[in-house]
């Protein structure tokens, strides 16, 4: 056993895939299984596929390369809009990519022709979250020019919600996406195969069955990995929240005051920490730090404990109400999506599959 470690329950992940598909399938919505939160982990991707996913999506070409080598016949989607420096890798490792820039599309066209391939493209429109995507009034011109490019085929229109600006995908916003897709089809002269309505933020619309009928794809990571929608982080009916559990060891245990002794200034991260005088408390230091996981992404499974704070390599926990925890004891955490992303990316957190 290597500590810290993240324990990954593959059966719970499969179960969450089936739960999400049971919601999406009756509405004619394809679920793209997003693996970026788990570093394109092959065993987790295998659980996605076992649960019935047929397309995997990731934001990094390095992860797509790993997935392609493991699953040569599975459709792979690049989620982050590509840069000009990545064109060769995109054509090599991805079947589909999300795009918003004509110059990039021209480069993809040229590379696809050179490789004797046809690359599938979903154009991205910005409906107000202010991350990637062409502005709606500029979409017709982009469509007119992109449709003439050989080597690529525009198969769909997509949008993103609640990632940068926190924009909620209301029924009205998603209907706007459908209306833009209708206009695109008039320019293209054919029907779009995909209207990619968003991510786990769209799951409330799926739950109450108010998502517009033409939306036929969602790109889901958090909804599967953690069983939650990403607006209010509510657990989806039938899902489990603890497919991933982070475990760390107590490496020091002393009773100490809750106020630093002397003049204080910035901490190692340039912040001015604030302290409340609670007298002396039993404090445990865990072998886990901000280099491994964002502090905000940790949720203690033992409700008697409390997090005081963290530095790069040390997490300080109040053990006062759990006096039996000794040096070498293990403390467990559930994780937010950001916490999961950090823990799975850290090379210092061992991954253990059950």
Show which residues are catalytic.
36
- Please state, in angstroms and as integers, the Cα–Cα distance from residue 289 to each residue in 258, 297, 313, following that order: 19, 12, 4
What is residue 119's three-state secondary structure? strand
User: Do β-strands 96-99 and 119-124 pair in parallel, antiparallel, or remain unpaired?
Assistant: parallel
Buried b (16+ CB within 10 A) or exposed e, 213-238: ebbbbbbbbbbbbbbbbbbeeeebee
Tell me, letter by letter, the H, E, C secondary structure of 59-92.
CCHHHHHHHHHHCCCCEEEECCCCCHHHHHHHHH
Which residue, among 51, 58, 343, 111, has the nearest Cα to 66 in the 3D structure?
A: 58
- The Cα–Cα gap between 37 and 43 comes to 13
Buried b (16+ CB within 10 A) or exposed e, 98-125: bbbbeebbbbbbbbbbeeeeebbbbbbb
DSSP, res 234? P
DSSP, res 233? -
For the beta carbon of residue 70, count every other beta carbon within 10 angstroms.
Answer: 15
Look up residue 130 and give its two tokens.
């202010």
- The Cα–Cα gap between 203 and 205 comes to 5
Contact (CB, 8 A) for 344 and 8: no
């Amino acid at each position: 056993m290597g500590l810290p470690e993240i324990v990954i329950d593959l059966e719970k992940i499969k179960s969450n895939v089936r739960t999400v598909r049971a919601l999406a399938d009756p509405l004619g919505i394809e679920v793209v299984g997003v693996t970026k939160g788990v570093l394109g982990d092959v065993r987790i991707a295998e659980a996605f596929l076992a649960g019935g996913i047929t397309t995997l999506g990731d934001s990094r070409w390095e992860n797509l390369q790993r997935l392609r080598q493991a699953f040569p016949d599975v459709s792979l989607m690049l989620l982050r809009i590509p840069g000009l420096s990545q064109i060769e890798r995109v054509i090599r490792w991805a079947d589909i990519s999300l795009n918003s820039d004509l110059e990039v599309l021209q480069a993809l066209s040229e590379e696809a022709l050179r490789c004797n391939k046809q690359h599938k493209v979903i154009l991205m429109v910005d409906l107000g979250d202010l991350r990637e995507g062409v502005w709606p009034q500029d979409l017709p011109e982009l469509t007119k020019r992109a449709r003439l490019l050989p080597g690529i085929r525009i198969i769909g229109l997509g949008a993103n919600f609640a990632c940068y600006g926190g924009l909620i995908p209301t029924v009205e916003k998603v209907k706007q996406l459908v209306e833009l897709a209708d206009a695109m089809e008039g320019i293209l002269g054919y029907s779009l195969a995909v209207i990619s309505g968003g991510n786990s933020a769209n799951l409330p619309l799926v739950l109450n069955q108010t998502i517009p009928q033409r939306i036929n794809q969602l790109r889901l990571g958090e909804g599967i990995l953690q069983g939650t929608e990403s607006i209010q982080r509510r657990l989806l009916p039938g899902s489990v929240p603890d497919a991933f559990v982070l475990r760390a060891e107590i490496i020091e245990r002393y009773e100490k005051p809750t106020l630093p002794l002397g003049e204080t200034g910035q901490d190692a991260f340039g912040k001015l920490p604030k302290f409340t005088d609670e007298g002396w408390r039993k404090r445990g230091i865990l072998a886990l730090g901000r280099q491994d996981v964002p502090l905000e992404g940790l949720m203690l499974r033992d409700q008697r404990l409390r997090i005081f704070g963290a530095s790069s390599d040390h997490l300080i926990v109040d053990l006062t109400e759990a006096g039996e925890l000794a040096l070498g004891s293990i403390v467990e955490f559930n994780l937010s999506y950001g916490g999961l992303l950090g823990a799975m990316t850290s090379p210092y957190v061992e991954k253990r599959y059950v």
